[in-house]
Amino acid sequence: MSRWDDWGWTSTPKRPPPEHGIKLKKAGATWWGQAWLEALEHVLEGDSGRLARGRTYARAGRTHDLVVGGGKVTAKVTGSRPRPYVISLKLGQFGEKVWEKVLAGMARQARYSAELLAGRMPQDIDAVFRAAGVSLFPRSREDLTTSCSCPDWGDPCKHVAATHYVLGEALDGDPFLLFELRGKTKEQVLGALRAARGGEARRSATRREETRGALARPEVAGVKPGKLTEASYDQPRAPLPVLSFSFDAPVVHGAVLRQLGAPGSWGGRDSPGEVLAPHVRAAAEMARRIALQEPGEVAEDAGVERTRRRSRTRGGR
């Protein structure tokens, strides 16, 4: 019996964490995950004791069934009662006009899309949101709504705090969850950026064409069926149009490989992105040189690469 017996109360021992509980390893491993935790600790203004107990709950795996969607986070935390406590967190949603300004600001620089595709939140991303009059991270208590089914009137209670820390670790692995908490899914953000970047690329191409002064492009004559001879079979009926190429080096090499991640059957020590990225980059560079008619450099590079392979082969025997 506990020390509360004199008052007629008995304490209930805590139930063990569920097997499917999310055990916190290290929240705030990324700059945006750390910014999330710091912002929440500042906004919630909870006492250090409750926050510490929340971290303990999170490390023990008492938080489970975490769901992020529609600007809302729900989770359950196993405590001393038979039924887990139900937790809800909600951030203020941004309106469409705000998101239009934010996405337009992000689309002006290709590196934002490149870093997001690589699974990283751009370091200065909040500057784009502030330019639209908002902040990606919560800054005031009115911007964050929390609730828990436990009887503790403290705000935050340890169950809410535990959920915050588990969510912080989830954000480390997927920065797009921050956008979803503000009202836009990963697909919506990337789709809008692709559309905006595509329009900008077309406008840039048009401006380059106008600057060059109406590059002559002979019209291709229509195909008229007729007799063909063996000598003229592969000859064009009219001069081919002039082709021009423009290449921009990627901001982040191998971004798509890192975004795809490792397949379930991958057993290598290094990730597929680390293994394949150098080869993809070399192939892209060779394709660029072929397109720009630099066969001498391509042949020279190919000869050097063959020499390197022969040296590696001899050295491994």
Yes or no: say if 186 and 113 are a contact pair by the CB < 8 Å rule.
no
- List, for residues 46-96, the tens digit of each pLDDT value: 667 788 888 899 999 999 999 988 778 999 999 888 899 999 999 889 999
Last residue of a domain, one of 145, 163, 190: 190
Yes or no: say if 184 and 99 are a contact pair by the CB < 8 Å rule.
yes
Same domain, 41 and 173: yes
Structural domain boundaries, residue 56: 12-95+136-190
Structure tokens at 109: 């620089």
Structure tokens at 10: 């008995």
Same domain, 44 and 152: yes
Same domain, 55 and 147: yes
User: What's the pLDDT score for residue 232?
Assistant: 73
**Counted domains in the chain:** 2
- List, for residues 13-55, the tens digit of each pLDDT value: 677 888 888 998 887 889 998 998 888 778 777 667 788 888 8
Cα 249 to its chain centre, rounded Å, is: 21
User: What's the pLDDT score for residue 73?
Assistant: 92
| 151-161 core/surface letters (b: 16 or more CB in 10 A; e: else) | eeeeebbbbbb
Same domain, 295 and 182: no
Yes or no: say if 75 and 66 are a contact pair by the CB < 8 Å rule.
yes
Same domain, 172 and 287: no
Determine, yes or no, domain membership for 24. Answer: yes
Determine, yes or no, domain membership for 175. Answer: yes
User: What's the pLDDT score for residue 288?
Assistant: 74
User: What's the pLDDT score for residue 203?
Assistant: 52
Same domain, 48 and 186: yes
Q: Which residues of the chain have pLDDT under 50?
A: 1-9, 201, 214-216, 298-304, 306-307, 309-317
Q: Write down the pTM of the prediction.
A: 0.58
Alpha-carbon distance of 41 to 63, in angstroms, equals: 18
Alpha-carbon distance of 253 to 282, in angstroms, equals: 11
User: What's the pLDDT score for residue 1?
Assistant: 40
Among residues 137, 113, 111, which one has the least CA distance to residue 31?
Answer: 137
Determine, yes or no, domain membership for 141. Answer: yes
Determine, yes or no, domain membership for 254. Answer: no
Determine, yes or no, domain membership for 198. Answer: no
Last residue of a domain, one of 190, 208, 231: 190
Alpha-carbon distance of 138 to 161, in angstroms, equals: 15
Determine, yes or no, domain membership for 278. Answer: yes
Last residue of a domain, one of 168, 190, 212: 190
Same domain, 182 and 291: no
User: What's the pLDDT score for residue 299?
Assistant: 46
User: What's the pLDDT score for residue 18?
Assistant: 87
Same domain, 73 and 176: yes
Determine, yes or no, domain membership for 230. Answer: no
Determine, yes or no, domain membership for 62. Answer: yes
